[in-house]
Structure 1
Amino acid sequence: MSNNKFGISSLSLAISIALAGSFASTQALAAEDQDILVKVENVERMAVVGSRAAPRSVGESPVPIDIIDGDELTKNGATDMNDLLSKVVPSYNVGVQPISDASTLVRPANMRGLAPDHTLVLVNGKRRHRASVIAFQGAGISDGAQGPDISVIPAIALKQIEVLRDGAAAQYGSDAIAGVINFQLKDASEGGSIEARYGQYYEGDGSTPMIAGNIGLPLTDDGFVNLSFEYKEADATSRSVQRDDAAALIAAGNTAVANPAQIWGAPETKEDFKFFFNMGLELNDDQHAYMFGNWARRDVEGGFYFRNPETREGVYADGDGNPLIGDLTDDMSGNCTTHEAAMTQDQCWSFQEMFPGGFTPNFGGVVEDSSLVAGLRGELKNGIGYDGTFSYGENTADFYIKNTVNASLGPDTPTSFSPGKYVQQETGASLDFTYFEVDTWSFAWGAEYRRETFEIYNGDVPSFEIGPLAAQGFGIGSNGFPGFKPEDAGSWTRSNIGIYADVEKELTDDFLMTAAIRYENYDDFGGTTNGKLSAIWNATEYFSLRGAASTGFRAPTVGQNNVRNVTTAFGPNGLQDQATLPPTNPISVQKGGKPLEPETSVNLSVGGVLTAGDFFLTVDYYHITLEDRISQTSPIELTDQDKQDLVEQGILDAGSFSAVRYFTNDFDTTTQGVDLVANYTPEWFEGSSFSLAYNWTETKVDSYNPENIGESKVKSLEEALPHHKGTLTWNQDLTDEFRSLVRMNYYGAYWEDHLDSNGDLPIDVSSAVTFDVELGYDVNENWSLALGAQNILDTYPDDNPWAGEAGAAYPVTSPYGFNGGFYYGRVNYTF
């Protein structure tokens, strides 16, 4: 398919049609349904985000807001919240992450072409804690990001989702550069539903059974308890071909090599349990107590790179490519120089004895997530509203790796290891005040305190142990993901306080202006002040113009400042061990590392809303400049002299590193784009609704440090996501019982740095169109059935021209995946 570029004249036309962006409807943008039925009453759905004054309808908001009805999220073949949002918000992209270290456990997602931690996540309007996992391999854009794990949120627990697509750091604090996503939990005190779903790919793999439930219960006569759960499993998939080197080994007579030697596909989800609760109680006419929280546990296991039994350095070969034969004697008297000696002499050892066909590690982890938020809100006698909140959140990633070795232990090595874990903890307290409609003025002010802790727990001893063969050139630690050593373990904490003030003024009946200012102070890098102005003008009864300008920031996370990790990645000379270290680590400092500073941004947007009977149209243009952007450096090679100098400083494991990466503020970017949404429910076509959602996003790297940021990383930042993405959906009520959905998805062309190869294996991937369909049947008022298919025509990305390098049949960063068509069935019972 041709790469359909969006020219300047087309962009100008799109901007001039009308400006703003909001899926304004009760059923706007359902995750697979995207059922945007925009009738007049739907336009009046209220949004909490975007304003600290009284909630406004999305059509009246001076900034673009999408409202996604929670019930529509369950009408879908997908089960992960990231996948659901990628269908809902055109600028939201998430990939499969088949071989990406910890990113396989918590997949990074991008909104408006920015990193995952540039989007602030709220639940019931309260800040959500971030995940403990840092995306070490994030296809350039997400490299080093540490965002929240929204996949722990079950769709059945949600009343609605609000997506604020505008910079909001002046209102909500750090991270709100690309926008804000607010998940509103159900608050019903009665009724509920049970849902069972099953699906699998056309290829016969990736089967995904799921069951979910929700129930509302009364809490005395004046309150509610709403409980939700979800449990699912997912089998792994494989879209692999045999690697060239593995095929050559088989051709040469090595019958122990697996076919394929390396798997590319969706990882296996062994179990995924999610639980949310939401509680509220009216204490009296002026006070309301609330509490909500969650607990989730997910066990995910994926693959790693194949270890060639003839060339894998540190296991089968030395640095010069010669066979690595271990001498097991105490005095090196074994004369161990050949594989024959290893096979025939007890004092000699080769890993070809244990894994004659090489080996491919399996990497996984158990992610646990929990939170508790409690608060009291009400109104004082003078009309001032208040809301006091306490929150706690924790996310843990406990890693494991199988089918691998600690080569330095020789024949005594285990083949399964527990390399350690990361823990992220956040505690917060806030006190907010509001005062509405004082001579058409509205005021809000408040203060917030947050304490963030990042912890590293060391692994089991064999995962980092320096064995007796280390001095002979055998690698140290569990190969592929060495365990965290006791000296790597630790706990690091940072606190910050913030104060803010918001004001809104209706200058006329048709013109609203808002302003916000926020000051935050961090105990590690100091203070920052940010502001925002926005306005909306109702030019006519049917058309409104709006715009906003703001400054923003994102504080470097405690994890980014202190994380330690060694991963095996594809380098210029094949697989190599790359160490990600704190920027203040001696190795990093030797290569230019220095303490991190916050990112700063300027957001500009202009938009408008057109409502004409059954037709609703919004378009938004946005422009985001981001300075001192935080990411990992490109891999920086360590010379033999570098390693020797570091060993002499007491950093004994430096000799096993091929390259080092650290976090840095070394580049600036400009991101601009357009969001367009059109909805039409014609009276002449009873029961039908049509919706069009489109996004154009483009990022330009304005400046960077070439010593730390390579050209391939720059191109990944600019080209790794499609510039264009859109959906066209037709929903039809066929009868009172039957309904159907047909949706076309468009994904623009993009560029992939295959295997993070520093541009050595580039792929220009063509644009693509996929189709989704669903047919639903309401048996009665309680039972409903649905059958559907995502990517019903079984569309795949272009063939991978470098498939023989590591066995991936298709480009692995495809925004619509590389597993092909997926069919599913669903049964719902509502009571």
Structure 2
Amino acid sequence: MHHAIRPVPRVLALGIASALGLSQPLLAQETPAKDPAKLDAVIVTGTRSTDRTVSSSLQPVDVISSDQLQSSGSNQLGAALARLVPSISFPQPTTISGAEVVRPVTLRGLSPDQVLVLIDGKRQHAGSFLNLGGAIGRGSNPVDINAIPISAVERIEVLRDGASARYGSDAIGGVINVILKKGGEGGSVSAQYGGYSKGDGKQRQLSGDAGFKLGDKGFVHVSGEFANDDYTNRAGRDLGTSAVGSTYGQKVYRLGDPAVKSTKLGVNAEYDFSKAVEVYGFALYRRDRAESALLYRHRNDSTNVRSIYPNGYLPLATPIVDDLSVVGGVRGEVGDGWHYDFSLNYGKNRYRSRFDQINADWYRTYGYTPFSIVGATYKSSQDVVNLDLSKEFRPSWLPNPVSVAFGAEYLRQTYQVTPGDVYSQYGSNGGITGNSSGRWQRHDVSEYIDLETNLTDRFAVSLAGRHEDYSDFGKTTSGSLSGRFDFTPRVAVRGTVSTGFRAPTLVQQHYADVSSQLQDLGHGQVLVQSGTFPVDAPVAQLLGAEKLKPEKSRSATVGVVLDPIDAWQLSVDAYWIKITNRINLSSNIPVNTPKVASYLTGNGIDANYQSLRYFTNAVDTRTRGVDVVSQYGFDFSNGDRLNTTLSWSYNQNKVLSVKPNPAILDQLGVAVQRVERRERLGLLGDTNPRTKLDLGLDYLHQRWAVHANVNGYGSYTVYSNSGPQLDQTFASRWTLDLSVDYRLDRWTFTVGGDNVTNAHPQQVIYANSTNGNFLYSLFSPMSWNGAYYYGRVTYKF
């Protein structure tokens, strides 16, 4: 491997140098130094030790710097991360019940809510949004990582291993720990403008950060981002029979990125009163005002009024999303080397749904209709009280100190749904009614312990355990054991075995809604009124819903870490994850068949919708994969430098078993499985690309810097509920991001492009295009939009 990989970066280095018009330099004969920012950086994720580095970690950890995050034109943290970490994906769905506004991040091909997000080591709250659309992350209730301003980030540590034993629920796939900028000096202001090659999607961004001293013992560091993004549209032409005579052959749908006006603010502060008392805290706030298109209402649809819209119309969703995180605490060292950290953590998320549309049922009853409807408001919050204690002990029977950390945590979570106006609740328009609204809460008390030591100078081990007691589903215990053996300073092996869990969120337990959904009913995608009900709703229980249980996981990782030569680090980690009682949305259960309708009516249920679904512990799954990460730095004799990162991941998901249907469905003759075919084979299986490759190159020459990033996505298959005749496998795709920086004193001028080759996903077959309107798959791992070009000016002080 050493001989196969090494020549490639050298050729690329010389090619970039030639492109800049430089005289061809010779590589310096002396051994180049390692890049200390990446290889020897001290990490705080996945360890309680104070001196673990990336290169000595017992578990695979990626460190992404602020400069790397800002090397692309994206102002979304999830998109920037996905370009740099191959095991992270950032699907960009469109018109999927709000998922185009609150976009999920996935790790190792698992669900977006099976990765834990921390900010400076503190648990970040989940959003109030529930992904109900037919895309990656369907049914998940994830953290909105894009609420964090990139300008506030110093670095990000990505732990690619199960970590529930250290951090609790959600860390089945791993942990994303966002480290905020600190310090009382320096800062920057940046302005950026860009747009897509199609001429739409203009983006205007203004961001900055600044540090201020608090005497000689503290600081306040502030940050902010303001963005105004236009929408994009990659819809096809409407060729459906419902469009004949009106909109046939026209682009009536709007499919792409939403228009968003975003404000993100952050503050981080510390003050040292003494060695024993250091006060710290941070706060982050985000507000997004979005506008995205819903599905087109054709002239003869029951949701349209032809006297108002003779040819139909395009309704809009205009949600307002607010997110707030506030953390405060005190830490220090007391006594004989005891370290303590006591913190309070509060977070909340609010999703206010708004619609620019009519209510046809209201019009038919009262002779008029509103054109703007206020939908339901969803709120979620968390309160965390945490105490960490740690100390290094030096037992006489061990050759090295033992790092001992233990603590306790109290977690309280709430979820609240408030109905919208009367128009949003009337008729088949659906929405949240007073019967579906409410406020729910739960709490959890946990205790944990973490031990880490070097049993010899070459053999390090770590043992962690955590016990949880949730008020709604009971107790659970997780554990992990990690080890690393260094055969030589250049060759080491490492591995981890662990158990974990994910608690069903309050949103998954209590969300209720009736809305228009595209569903595959066996003869293509059609628009139907579908209800989503909590498991304790009478109609759901009548059709087999049961109380949700936590997901449980077992996982193992084994890897090798190599330093073939100075400045080159290579790691290969293979992993296995088994998840039982995985929580998914059930299949859409038809309720308008005579037998089901009679059964529900006989039990006092009048269903004014065509189907319903609920959450269920439906399946057991297995995930296997390999992550390869290579970092190499070159120094040239003229002082230039080339940093390279090559990362590749292979990931395979498989459903091992599906729980049998509730007996009542069989008795009623409901011919659906507990989980849809599309989900069973696709969303939980082959719809995630099995392979992903990232190649990053950074060439530094005096005042100039050139950044190149290549992303390769493997093929994937989307399955149809109609049967294998409509399954489609999509070819792999490659994208190339390029940018050039020129530094002039404190100024940096940047021009660049993301996906400069203007690559697009493979188009869907017509039978899966909803009458020609959807050109690309909703499951595409890459954006539909094509090439994006931008210019940026940055001033550092």
Q: TM-score, normalised to structure 2's length? A: 0.90
Partners of 2:379 and 2:417 within 8 A in 1: yes
Give per-residue Cα distances to partners, 1:587-606, cap 9 Å, x unaligned.
21122110000000001000
| Aligned twin of 2:259 | 268
Residue identity matched to 1:728: L
Paired AA for residue 115 in structure 2: T
Shift of 1:787: 0.6
Q: Encode CA deviations 1:210-255: one digit per residue, 9 max, x unaligned.
A: 0001010112321110000000011111111212126x745x3x3x
1:360 to 287, 308, 314: 314
2:85 matched residue in structure 1: 89
Name the Cα RMSD after superposition. Answer: 2.1
The amino acid across from 1:726 in the alignment is L
Q: 2:715 aligns with which of 737, 749, 753?
A: 749
Q: Which moved more, 1:164-173 or 1:95-104?
A: 95-104
Contact 1:609 1:618 in 2 (8 A): yes
Contact kept, 8 Å, 1:111 with 1:119, in 2: the verdict is yes
1:77 counterpart = 2:73: yes
SS class of match (1:101): coil
1:44-443, aligned counterparts within 5 Å?
A: 44-139=40-135, 141-245=136-240, 249-250=243-244, 252=245, 254=246, 259-269=250-260, 271-310=261-300, 312=301, 314-315=302-303, 351-410=305-364, 411-439=367-395, 440-443=401-404
**Alpha-carbon distance in structure 2 between the residues aligned to 1:421 and 1:409:** 24
The answer to whether the Cα contact below 8 Å between 1:300 and 1:366 also exists between their aligned partners in 2 is yes
Partner Cα separation in structure 1 for residue 775 and residue 584 of structure 2: 29
Q: Contact conserved, 2:410 with 2:446, CA < 8 A, in 1?
A: yes
Cα deviation digits, residues 766-789 of structure 1 (max 9, x gap): 001121111110022x10011111
In 2, the alpha carbon distance for the partners of 1:195 and 1:486 equals 47
Instruction: Give the counterpart letter for 1:528 in structure 2.
Output: T
Q: What is the letter of the counterpart of residue 356 of structure 1?
A: P
CA distance in 2, matches of 1:395, 1:668: 31
> Which segment is superposed worse, 756-765 or 220-229?
756-765
Q: Match for 1:62: what amino acid?
A: L
Q: Is the 8 A contact 2:306 2:312 kept in 1?
A: yes
CA contact (8 A) 2:72 2:754 kept: no
1:397 maps to a residue whose letter is Y
- Look up the SS of the partner of 1:682 in the other structure: strand
Give the C-alpha shift of residue 819 in structure 1.
0.8
Deviations 1:717-776 (A, max 9, x none): 11111100001222212x31111122222110012357x878774332100112111111
Residues 473-500 of structure 1 deviation map (CA, whole Å, 9 limit, x = unaligned): xxx33xxxx3311111100001010000
Distance 1:651 1:177 in 2: 39
Give the 3 Å change call, closer, same or farther, for CA 368–823 of structure 1 in structure 2. same
Between the aligned partners of 2:646 and 2:600, the Cα distance in structure 1 is 58
* 784-793 or 89-98, which deviates more: 89-98
> Does the CA-based 8 Å contact 1:37-1:679 persist in structure 2?
no
Matched, 1:635 2:603: no
Letter in 2 for 1:90: P
For residues 786 and 761 of structure 1, the distance between their equivalents in structure 2, rounded to whole angstroms, comes to: 45
Query: How far apart, CA to CA, are the structure 2 residues paired with 1:617 and 1:53?
Result: 23
Q: Secondary structure at the match of 2:752?
A: strand
- 1:53-77 per-residue CA deviation (whole Å, 9 max, x = no partner) reads 3241011111011111123322321
Work out the CA distance in 1 between the residues paired with 2:468 and 2:729.
43
C-alpha separation between the residues in 2 aligned to 1:142 and 1:112?
Answer: 13
SS of corresponding position for 2:629: strand
Q: Is structure 2 residue 704 aligned with structure 1 residue 738?
A: yes
Residue in structure 1 matching 2:633, options 681, 700, 713 = 681
Q: Any idea what SS the aligned residue of 2:98 has?
A: helix
Cα separation, 2, equivalents of 1:672 and 1:286: 46
Structure 2 counterparts to residues 567-646 of structure 1, below 5 A: 567-571=515-519, 572=521, 574-611=526-563, 612-638=565-591, 639-646=593-600
State the 1:647 CA deviation: 4.3
- Note if 1:43 corresponds to 2:10: no
Preserved contact between residue 406 and residue 462 of structure 1 (Cα < 8 Å): no
One-letter code aligned to 1:747: Y
| C-alpha contact (below 8 Å) 1:154/1:229 kept by paired residues | yes
Match in the other structure for 1:520: 468
Q: d(CA) in 1 for partners of 2:348 and 2:462? A: 35
SS across alignment from 1:797: coil
SS of the residue 1:56 aligns to? coil
TM-score under structure 1 length normalisation: 0.86
Counterpart residue number, 1:29: none
| Farther-moved stretch of structure 1 (406-415 vs 384-393) | 406-415
| Counterpart residue identity of residue 240, structure 1 | A
Structure 2 partner of 1:33 = none
**In structure 2, the residue corresponding to 1:527 is in which secondary structure?**
strand
Superposed CA offset, 1:340-361 (max 9, x none): xxxxxxxxxxx22122112222
- Whether contact under 8 Å (1:789, 1:822) holds in the other structure is yes
Q: Is the 8 A contact 2:373 2:424 kept in 1?
A: yes
8 Å contact kept, 2:240–2:248: no
Tell me by how many angstroms 1:280 deviates. Answer: 0.5
Contact 2:359 2:369 in 1 (8 A): yes
2:742 is aligned with 1:777: yes
Deviation of 1:308 after TM superposition, in Å, equals: 2.4
Q: Say yes or no: does 1:811 pair with 2:777.
A: yes
2:18 corresponds in structure 1 to none
Residue number in structure 1 paired with 2:26: none
User: Deviation at 1:799?
Assistant: 2.1
CA distance in structure 1 between the aligned counterparts of 2:144 and 2:295, rounded to whole angstroms: 26
Residue in structure 1 matched with residue 424 of structure 2 by the alignment: 463
* Deviation (angstroms), 1:364: 2.9
Q: Matched residues in 2 for 1:229 and 1:561: separation?
A: 35
1:744, 1:769 within 8 Å by CA — same for their partners in 2?
A: yes
Matches of 1:757 and 1:673, distance apart in 2: 30
- After superposition, the Cα gap between the structure-2 partners of 1:779 and 1:719, relative to the gap in structure 1 and judged at 3 Å, is same
Q: Does 1:725 align with 2:677?
A: no
| Structure-2 separation of matches of 1:682 and 1:359 | 58
Residues 606-642 of structure 1 show CA distances to partners (whole Å, capped at 9, x for unaligned) of 0121112121111110100000001111211112443
Alpha-carbon distance in 2 for matches of 1:98, 1:212 = 26
Per mean C-alpha deviation after superposition, the further-off stretch among 148-157 and 737-746 is 737-746
Equivalent position SS for 1:692: strand
Bigger relative contact order, structure 1 or 2, given CA contacts below 8 A and separation 6+?
1
Unmatched 5+ stretches in structure 1: 1-12, 18-35, 317-350, 467-475
Q: Answer yes or no: is the 8 Å Cα contact 1:288–1:376 preserved in 2.
A: yes
CA contact (8 A) 2:134 2:778 kept: no
- Tell me, yes or no, if the aligned pair for 1:394 and 1:425 is still in contact at 8 Å: yes
Match for residue 536 of structure 1 among 471, 484, 491 = 484
**Matched residue type, 1:505:** T
SS at match of 1:103: coil
Residue 643 of structure 1: how far off its partner (Å): 3.3
Q: How much has 1:96 moved relative to structure 2?
A: 2.0
Q: Would you say 1:449 and 2:410 are equivalent positions? A: yes
In 2: Cα distance, 1:37 partner to 1:694 partner: 24
1:143-165 Cα offsets, whole Å, 9 max, x none, are: 21111111111111011111111
Q: Distance in 1 between matches of 2:513 and 2:283?
A: 31
SS of aligned partner of 1:102: coil
Superposed displacement of residue 408, structure 1: 4.1
User: 1 CA distance for matches of 2:762 and 2:337?
Assistant: 62
